[in-house]
Structure formats: C-alpha cells, structure tokens
Structure 1
C-alpha cells in the first residue's frame, strides 16, 4: 500500500495488509485534523518505509507528550513513529488505493464534538454542490 500527503512531497509504503482503522474523537485529534475525528491505524515499523519527503516533515509536541507530525509544505498530518513501541501511526486519509480496512473502534467518544451526531441526518451529495450559493441555501 502506498500513501502520500496532499502535495505529494511526503510519500511512504506499507508492506502487507492494512489493519482495521480507529477513529479518535478527542479534542486534540479534532484540532490536529480540523475534522470530527481522526481516522488512523498503527502498522509495525518493519513494514513501513519512507519513499520521499522526510526532510519536509515537521513535528509539534505538547508538554503532555502528544505529538503530531505534518508536511511543512501542505500541512497534512503524516505518519509518525510511536516512541519506543516499534509501531508507526498512519493517518487513513493519506492511503492511496483500495483497502478492505474498516473503522472498528471509536475512541474518546465522550469528548466528541456535539455537532458530530447530527451528521447522520444531513443532506448528502455524491459530489460537491453546484455552487457556494446553492450550498448556502442548504445551510
């Protein structure tokens, strides 16, 4: 499996099957992604390889130990090595191609954004709206 950031500068490969995914709903993950939850997985370090762009990666770490790595060009969160675990955290949105992996665990649901549960009743489009004006009418 291959993956890359939004601009394509940071690229990586993973050998073998991608494990199932988890979604974390904690406030740190929401802020790091700008989304309702962070979808990711962990893979063994010996099955993970950087292809390009390691020099573009920057890190931010809170005093608590929470760390996020990101592409310095496009800002996409990118994989990071989990301290001394031998595992690599991989954001699911960076994976190219098809995977049979599914979200199998939701974490920190008690701190989920209040507006997240509302999304099941929302209008859904197969693609984007015709215009921002048409979208504003729905908001």
Structure 2
C-alpha cells in the first residue's frame, strides 16, 4: 500500500494492505490534524519504507515529547517514528484507497470535541488505554 502527502513530494509504502486504525480525540491530536480526531495506523519499522521526499520533512516537538512531522511544502502530517519503539505512526488520510483498513478504537473520548456528532465504530476509551494492550490490538507486527 502506498501513501503520500497532499503535494505528493513525500511518499512511502507499507508492506501490507491490511491495517487497523485508531482515532484519537485528544486536544493535541485535534489541533495537529485540524479535525475532530487524528486517524492513524501504527506499523512495524520493517513494514514501512520511504519512497521519496524525506529531505522535505519538518518536525515540531512539544516539551512533553508530543511530536508532529509534516511536509514543509504542503503542510500535510507525515509518518514519524514512535520514540524509542520499533514502530512508525502513519496518518490514515495519506494512504491510497484499496486496502483493508478498519478503525478498531477511539481514544480520549472524554476529550472529544463537543461539536463532533459522529458515531464511533470500534472500542471507545475515555483516555489512552494501556499501551502494550493497545499495540497488541493494532497488531502492527502482523503481515
């Protein structure tokens, strides 16, 4: 499965075409995505490969460690490695259609925007669940 930013100058590929996504509704993710939630997959390093444009990636990091990588040309969020873990965070909106992708969890529902009237599919968590269990549910190492 391939993906790219809005201007298509940054591109990547994933080794599978079947991924489980989560949507995070916390205020950081809403601001980072500019939407009601951030939809993303977490994939194993071994399943991710940059195709082009890595020199165009800019990063911004909050003192808390929250990191946002984005295309310096079009501003699209782009994949970034999870700090100290063998995984890559991949924004779902960058993925080309055609794969088997499903949302399995909604995080930080207690922080959900009051104007968000969508009906979530999948498990709903008031906050961020236990990270190890969450990663296991996303199955980023499955091929």
TM-score under structure 2 normalisation?
0.80
> What residue is the counterpart of 2:95 in the other structure?
95
Judging by fraction of residues, say which structure has more strand.
2
Q: Give CA-to-partner distance per residue, 1:65-112, whole Å, 9 cap, x none.
A: 000100000000000011121000000000012121111100000001
CA–CA distance in 2 between the matches of 1:101 and 1:68? 23
List structure 1 segments (4+ residues) > 6 angstroms apart after TM superposition: none
Shift of 1:16: 1.8
Say how many residue pairs are matched. 119
Shift of 1:18: 3.4
Q: In terms of mean alpha carbon deviation, does 93-102 or 40-49 score higher?
A: 93-102
Pairwise CA RMSD of aligned residues?
Answer: 1.1
> What residue is the counterpart of 2:48 in the other structure?
48
Task: Please identify the structure whose Cα radius of gyration is greater.
Answer: 1
Q: Unpaired segments of 5 or more residues in structure 2?
A: 120-143
Q: Unpaired segments of 5 or more residues in structure 1?
A: 121-139
Q: Give CA-to-partner distance per residue, 1:17-55, whole Å, 9 cap, x none.
A: 432100000000000111000000100001100000000
Instruction: Look up the SS of the partner of 2:110 in the other structure.
Output: helix
